[in-house]
Structure 1
Amino acid sequence: MESNHRHHKRIDLLDYLRGFALMGIILVNIGPLLEINEPAPADSLDFSYWRFLYLFVEGRFYTMFTFLFGVGFYIFLTRANAKGKNGYILFLRRMASLFVIGLVHVKFHPGEALALYAVCGLIILPFYKANKLMNLVFGTLMLIAFAIFSIKIFMVVPLMLLGIAAGQYRVFEKTKTKKIAVFTGVMLALSAAGLIVQAQYAPVQLGVATEATYLQEQHFISIGIAIGPIVSAFYAGLLLLLMQRRFFQKLFSPLKSYGRMALTNYVSQTILILLAGNAFDLFSQISYLQTLNLCVAIYVIQFMFSSVWLRYFRYGPLEWVWRIVTYWDIPPMRK
């Protein structure tokens, strides 16, 4: 019974984290989707929110989402193999179907990640059988190298690799509060140092056509990308610490449903943003701060939908389709 309870608890932790990551992703994605204007003047709330986004949100949540993809990848293969199925064949089908969903999604959302995740999933497949220490060390070194050069797209593979290592080390099965606290404390110190450095380069105004201001803005953004994994590790550690308390498990319970339907919610974020953009003619008309209001409205819709849906059904709509293609089998949808 104990192992079964742990098994469920681990899944819960991952779902809370996935839901949390999705909440951050939309805040960044909404800008390019609605062709948002640069904030001005420099002392406006809009400008302050832009700075807040680039200090605390941009590059912080997709890193968490990518890492969790690696964890999920490891768990999926391990469980499939444990059930006596050919995990590799199932995984290849799973990535192929994810790639197709990504190809459709990218038509509406040019910066989307699913097709990239599918390709990177195949790249890291050989590492599933590799030694866990090797995965941890190699993933960390590779991440540091790409972070130094702020190459966001290349950071996907090492982040997934670290996710596999976390699965191999059973990080989410054996959550020890003391270890999480130490990890979170270290990441807090590193994040604070990184953010202090990044804040030094925060531009005082945007959209000014001088080379110096443009370079400063780019420098500010690239430092943000470089420290992204550290800040997101702090966020994840903090959430895991809070989740050790019953009170926070209850308080954040909507996150769990939201994260369980991560694929459906990720794609429907795009749908809802574009629907709102067309319905209210928001393209190139909306400010940074106004996008926050729209995101909050989307959170409310998605949280309510996820909670109600999972009360009656086992899987989210897209998760169900994904399962059918993966297993060549139609699982029962109703609870």
Structure 2
Amino acid sequence: MTRRVLDVDAVRGFALLGIFAVNVTFMASGFPGNLVTDPRFSSALDDLVRALSSVFIDMKFYVLFSFLFGYSFTLQMAAAGRAGASFTARMLRRIGGLFIIGALHTVLLYGGDVLMTYAVACVGLLLLRKTRDRTAIGVAVGLYMIVLAGLVAGAFLIDRTAYFPSEAQALVNGEAATRALLGGWASNIGEHLAGLPLLILQAVTLQGPTALALFLLGMVAGRRQWLARITGSEPVLRRLQRIGFPIGLLGALVYTTAGGNDNSLGVAASVATAPLLTAAYVATLLRLMHSRRTSLIRSALAPAGRMSLSNYIGQSLIGLIAFSGIGFGLAGSLSPLELFAFVAAAFTGQLVLSALWLRRLRYGPLEWALRWLTIGQRPTLVAPPDGRPLPKGRHMRV
């Protein structure tokens, strides 16, 4: 595997960790989905952990995952070109596969799926793939501005009391949602389906447009191969840190002190500045991965990133088994700090399992199935013996 792919996949593995840390709060309790705090975990330590998560994690890693999706889109284009295949046909099959996986994921495992949104937004990316870089960047900025304008306008024009329950009612709803998590398959599937209207609303007004904007920026980065020749010593990485950390953290503090997702102006501040903080994270990670002392970070994260789809779905399966009544029924029983310990342990397991899997096999299970659908023929799953080179072009993750 080339260093380029190690870098891209390692960053994707890093994004998986952040996404898991956010999603697990919704898997483990019905209160966050109702925009209230579980009264059983209201100590100063609990509040501090939630605040730190809000500042450093919430709404940051969705940005990174979306950007990398757009970057990988250019790798798909290159792979289709090498194979002499129709890229449009390939990508439409891939989009269909992602949507189906996302739909099953939403119904069976976790109601906060992003794959269906990605699949729909990818249709827009497919239509815009031949635009010049300047045009793609302009469209991305325009989409972002529309989202921000909508959030700001909504803060002043929409009467929240007309659309959102009171805090007391939200607490009752959170308790009921937690009980639903503790039920069996019927209860959990019913809860997932009940959340579909809100999921669609978020996809249309926030996640879909921002995803497409970041897809376009990732596509531009992929065209220019920004991650192809990173050494870790580039001045731009230090500039990203100097600019991204102060501005991004300021926006994150505004988001947190304003009440997080319960305040449209706070969400707007986070949406506006999260890309800068995320860029600073990535710059820091790249510098660490290319330092002699900390280069093992890349080797540890890359296998999980290569199997990002399988690991993303796997995280939801872990959450279902751990927290729902289908499994161990831990919903509502772990504090915010304990949840972070759970994420650290589960993600470490994913890192180990991914590395072991890829020693013998070339793709994760869902990556293999999706590639089969994409290229229209069954790909070889078993990796060549050690020391035997892969066929030309097969070293790239496509």
Shorter chain as normaliser: what TM range?
A: 0.7 to 0.9
The question of whether the paired residues in 2 share the 8 Å contact of 1:55 and 1:224 is answered with no
> Structure 2 matches for 1:118-157, cutoff 5 A?
118-147=119-148, 149-150=150-151, 152-153=206-207, 154-157=209-212
Match of 2:363 among 315, 332, 335: 315
In structure 2, how many angstroms separate the alpha carbons of the residues matched to 1:148 and 1:69? 25
What aligned pairs does 1:170-319 form with structure 2 within 5 A after superposition?
A: 170-175=225-230, 177-198=234-255, 200-201=257-258, 219-277=265-323, 278=325, 279-319=327-367
Q: Which residue of 1 aligns with 2:116?
A: 115
Deviation at 1:13, TM superposition (A): 1.1
Residues 263 and 318 of structure 1 are in contact (CA less than 8 Å); yes or no, is this contact kept in structure 2? Answer: yes
Which amino acid in structure 2 is aligned with residue 326 of structure 1? T
Percentage identity across aligned positions? 27
SS of the residue corresponding to residue 81 of structure 1 reads: helix
Does structure 1 conserve the Cα–Cα contact (< 8 Å) formed by 2:252 and 2:274?
Answer: no
Give the corresponding residue for 1:207. Answer: none
Aligned-pair distance for 1:189? 3.2
Give ranges in structure 2 of 5+ residues lacking alignment.
32-36, 152-204, 384-398
User: Alpha carbons of 1:114 and 1:198: their partners in 2 closer, same or farther (altered >3 Å)?
Assistant: closer
Structure 1 contact 148–226 (Cα < 8 Å) conserved: no
Worse-superposed segment, 277-286 or 227-236? 277-286
C-alpha displacement of 1:46:
1.1
Match of 1:28, SS state, is: helix
In 2, Cα distance between the equivalents of 1:58 and 1:188?
A: 15
For 1:12, the aligned partner's letter is L
Aligned length, in residue pairs: 318
**Cα deviations across residues 258-313 of structure 1 (Å, max 9, x unaligned)?**
11100000000000111011333212333322211221221122111101101111
Structure 2 counterparts to residues 36-47 of structure 1, below 5 A: 36-37=30-31, 38-40=37-39, 43-47=43-47
| TM-score after normalising by structure 2 | 0.74
Q: What residue in structure 2 maps to residue 210 of structure 1?
A: none
The one-letter amino acid of 2:95's match is M
- Cα deviation for residue 16 of structure 1 reads 0.8
**CA shift for structure 1 position 200:** 4.6
Which stretch has the larger CA shift, 274-283 or 96-105?
Answer: 274-283
2:386 is aligned to none
Q: In 2, distance between residues paired with 1:196 and 1:320?
A: 41
Q: In 1, are the aligned partners of 2:244 and 2:277 still within 8 Å (CA)? A: yes
* Structure 2 counterpart of 1:24, from 12, 18, 21: 18
**What residue identity is the alignment partner of 1:85?**
A
1:33 aligns with 27
Cα displacement (A) at 1:138: 2.4
CA displacement at 1:53 relative to structure 2: 1.3
Rounded Cα–Cα distance in structure 2 between residues aligned with 1:71 and 1:170: 9
Q: Is the 8 A contact 2:125 2:212 kept in 1?
A: yes
- Cα offset, 1:331, TM superposition: 1.6
What is the root-mean-square deviation in Å for CA atoms of aligned residues?
2.3
Once structures 1 and 2 are overlaid, which stretch shifts more, 288-297 or 319-328?
288-297
